[in-house]
Amino acid sequence: MQKDYLLAFFTIFVVGTHAQTLGGNSVFNFLKASNSPQLTALGGLNISQQTQDIGLSFHNPALLRSSMHTQTQVVFNVYPGAVRNYHLITGYEAKKWQTNFALGINYFNYGSTAQTDAAGNILGEFHPADYVVQVMASRRYLQKWFYGTTLKFIYSSYGAYRSSGVAMDAGANYYDTAQFLQVGLVIKNMGLQLRSYDGTTRDDLPFDLQAGISKKLEKAP
């Protein structure tokens, strides 16, 4: 039964990769932003090193573990130009289904911007914002393998220009405690733009294929 789940899981995201092309322009690039302090400390990119930080599973659902049951992380970031970023994620273990779940949101508020007409007359102000809501699920396969998937709803609002989209991530993680070795693979942002900004055509999402290896040295603290 577990082999059937694994086969279906990889079949879904292999088919989904045909929806986008690599390179070029894309929308919703805020999806690439780091949401966790630990992830930022690791350079903003980590899909292999599993710790007890539930925030890392936001970028690879295979890093979600049963030990994160009821764990909640709240992050507030301040960027230059009055940009504010709010992040929330919480986990839940469904023992009956042997599945771990998490719900998260990443929200960017870009402050207030003057709204003008073509002649430069100020008509008021608007509050541009981006956010993504994610539902993550993960399971264990045998002793050292973990796999998971993420479903996303994405929304952007820049005054009169608004856009929405849906996407999916699929990831795997190999964790060998005896060899201090962790390996991660994730296919990110498979999906489509449901509604394009006024006056534009639909663009690709920031599709990405990532692989990583984390190795702890034997004598390291």
DSSP symbol at 127 = -
Q: Which residues contact 100 (CB under 8 A, 6 or more apart)?
A: 64, 65, 66, 68, 69, 91, 92, 93, 94, 137, 138, 139, 148
Select the more confidently predicted residue: 90 or 23: 90
Contact in structure between 73 and 56 (CB atoms under 8 Å)? no
pLDDT digits (tens, 9 = 90+) for 43-69: 888 899 888 899 999 999 999 999 999
Lowest mean per-residue pLDDT among 32-36, 101-105, 167-171? 32-36
The residue written with tokens 């207030």 in the block is 112
Q: pLDDT of 12-25, one tens digit each? A: 444 444 445 555 57
The pTM (predicted TM-score) of the whole model is: 0.84
Between residues 162 and 119, the one the model is more confident about:
162
Q: What's the confidence (pLDDT) of residue 1?
A: 52
**What dihedral angle (degrees, nearest 10) is formed by the CA atoms of 129, 27, 187, 171?**
10
